[in-house]
Amino acid sequence: MPAQSKPAYVISEVEILDEARADIYRARASASIEKYGGRYIVRAAPVELIEGERNGRRRFVIVEFPSMARAREWYDSPEYAEALEVRGGALARTLTFVEGVG
């Protein structure tokens, strides 16, 4: 029986700096995510902090991909590169890739 790949999650904590540029980034990023088999799990929903400290201006975005290889393929893709062209000045973020359980 072949090994099943584990899903991968791209987790970003985002602060919008320029709403107009962020709209362009969102449209380009969303199209590229869909093309590479990703789907949004969380998209800038309000955060309820239970413990610790964090920047309250930041929102979470979580995207699920079928595998870590597919997530990396998306991140390195020419389609996502177009989104990255407008990201600077549009938003500040952290970006993390993590493998899920099978």
In the block, residue with structure tokens 């995510």 = 33
**For the chain, domain boundaries:** 18-46+56-99
12: left (phi over 0), alpha (psi -120 to 50) or beta: beta
Sign of CA dihedral 62, 64, 68, 72: negative
Single-letter code of the amino acid located at 90: A
Please give the mean pLDDT across all residues of the chain.
Answer: 93
For 55-90, write each residue's pLDDT tens digit. Answer: 888 999 999 999 999 999 999 999 999 999 999 899
CA angle 71, 78, 8 (to 5 degrees): 5
In which band, very low, low, confident or very high, does the pLDDT at 47 lie, cut at 50, 70 and 90?
confident
Architecture of 18-46+56-99 per CATH?
A: 2-Layer Sandwich (3.30)
